[in-house]
Amino acid sequence: MAQFAWTDDLTTGSSLIDGDHRKLVELVNAFFQAMQSGQGNAQVSKAMKHLIAYTGEHFAREEAEMARIQYVAALAHRAEHTKLIKQLVELKEMQDAGGRMNTPAVADFLSLWLREHILAADMKLATALKQRKSAPAQQLH
């Protein structure tokens, strides 16, 4: 199974978002490695726990930025976050209960979701953050 590779097209230009995304890529790859290496359920569960925790932290930071700038697409963006966290938690619960994961399918799902979410939703958010930053301050009358 191939590791998730960071490519330049994933760079949003927002240091906050890009730094988080690079960390997420590391955690996704650590999860893939745990699944692939056959280290056992304890290692896979631990890797998944770290991935879920950091993903939640990252999403909270993005959502705070969306609220701060009153981002027009915040509701849809937040819904994508909520759905992924739910799917990751369900996957972890299934694995913790002794279920077996289809390693290639899980790897493909996470890689595809992360890439598509960054290239679509997060690029738009980064653009809105840049526009907000460069917009002149509104004066009170």
pLDDT tens digits, one per residue of 19-62:
999 999 999 999 999 888 876 778 888 999 999 999 999 999 99
Give 68-94 pLDDT, tens digit per residue: 999 999 999 999 999 999 999 999 999
**pLDDT value at residue 71:** 97
Q: Which whole-number Å values give the CA distances from 136 to 14, 64, 65, 99, 131, in the listed order? A: 19, 21, 18, 55, 10
Calculate helix-pair angle for 74-96, 41-69, nearest 10 degrees: 170
Q: Which domains does the chain have, with CATH numbers?
A: 15-132 (1.20.120.50)
- Whether 120 has a pLDDT exceeding 70, the answer reads yes
Structure tokens given for 63: 């959502």
Q: Which whole-number Å values give the CA distances from 23 to 54, 71, 98, 99, in the listed order? A: 8, 24, 28, 27
**pLDDT value at residue 135:** 56
Report if pTM > 0.75.
Answer: yes
How many residues can be counted in the chain?
141
Give the DSSP H/E element, type plus range, for residue 91.
helix 74-96
